[in-house]
Amino acid sequence: MQVQNSFQTEQGILYLVATPIGNLGDITLRALETLKSVDLVYAEDTRITYNLLKHFNIDTKILNYHEFNKEVQGPKIIEQLKQGLNIALVSDAGTPIISDPGYHVVDLAVQNNLSVVPIPGANAAISALIVSNITPKPFTFYGFLDSKPSKRDKELTMLKDLKQTLIFYEAPHRITKTLEAMLKIFGDRKIALAREITKRYESVIRGNISEVLKISDNLKGEMVIVVEENKQVVVTTTTVIEDVLALIKTGLHPKDAISEVSSMRNVAKKVVYQEYLNWKDNNEL
Ligand code: SAM
């Protein structure tokens, strides 16, 4: 176990600073104060961050940290934090680490008992979820699906039975193919496609996958797909206890069999557990 008292440290702090996803008005006061006061800003793309900082008259030194140099830059950042420098990490837009670089350096910082502090702000996934009009919880944030169709379809198949709202990031040139795959694998579920959030041409398209597919070829810009959970009711001729016992017979631990049946049938785990206990009472001793 490790307890981080974020601001009680002699060493530098790693701030994860969210930046706007399109509308500069979404930068927070705390983000501006942090970007101004830290010793260094590490950015996914220094040019993009230079323009952002320039807009707000901030002249903190910017260095780069991205997927392709993280192995070199990560340890360098850790050394600088140990020397007492405060550092902000930003991505091109939105919240760092969320489908953006940063996880690797957070891991190193935590391993080295350094404080990692969030400066929350814009995020496309949560913004899309709250306007989607699709049940907001529970939800799974998936981010980008694999670009290879066979791997993408495997990922969708794995997600198919989840009783959770699903959130995906997608690029406009792949949206039609992705929706076609979703239609094939998920069925014609309710979705919301939130485009260009916080920008001038923001739009939210709510409908079934087949309806959105009729216009998806013409959709441009940045987009998030929010997909309704699997609402299919599983029709079975077996009883709950028969399902649990059948799974135990295949070698599953009773605890796992109960979990599996609970999610398969969408029945509370404690109900399945109670059935199992009743069965045990009647069939053992
Ligand atoms: N870190 C970012 C965040 O917090 O949302 C996400 C970065 S990810 C590399 C970029 C993807 O996020 C885009 O391809 C798109 O799916 C989504 N995205 C980012 N900005 C968006 C916006 N303004 N409107 C809709 N989707 C957006």
Flag whether pLDDT at 253 surpasses 70: yes
Q: Report yes or no on 8 lying in a domain.
A: no
Range of the domain at 271: 240-283
Phi, psi torsion values for 210, nearest 5 degrees: -65, -35
Give yes or no for residue 132 CB within 6 A of ligand 1. Answer: no
Domain final residue, candidates 79, 102, 122:
122
118 shares a domain with 95: yes
Q: Is the CB of 243 under 6 A from ligand 1?
A: no
pLDDT tens for each residue of 149-178: 999 999 999 999 999 999 999 999 999 999
Nearest CA to ligand 1 atom 16: 169
Q: How large is the average pLDDT for residues 108-126? A: 98
258 shares a domain with 220: no
Q: What is the predicted pLDDT for the residue at 285?
A: 57
169 Cα–ligand 1 center, Å: 7
Number of domains in the chain: 3
Does the Cβ of 26 fall within 6 Å of ligand 1? no
Domain at 57, CATH number: 3.40.1010.10
Q: Is the pTM of this model over 0.75?
A: yes
Is the C-beta atom of 194 inside 6 A of ligand 1? yes
Query: What confidence score (pLDDT) does residue 169 get?
Result: 98
Query: Is the C-beta atom of 228 inside 6 A of ligand 1?
Result: no
pLDDT category of residue 235 using cuts at 50, 70 and 90: low
For residue 6, tell me if it sits in a domain. no
- Alpha carbon of 220 to ligand 1 centroid (Å): 13
Q: Residue 142 domain-assigned? A: yes
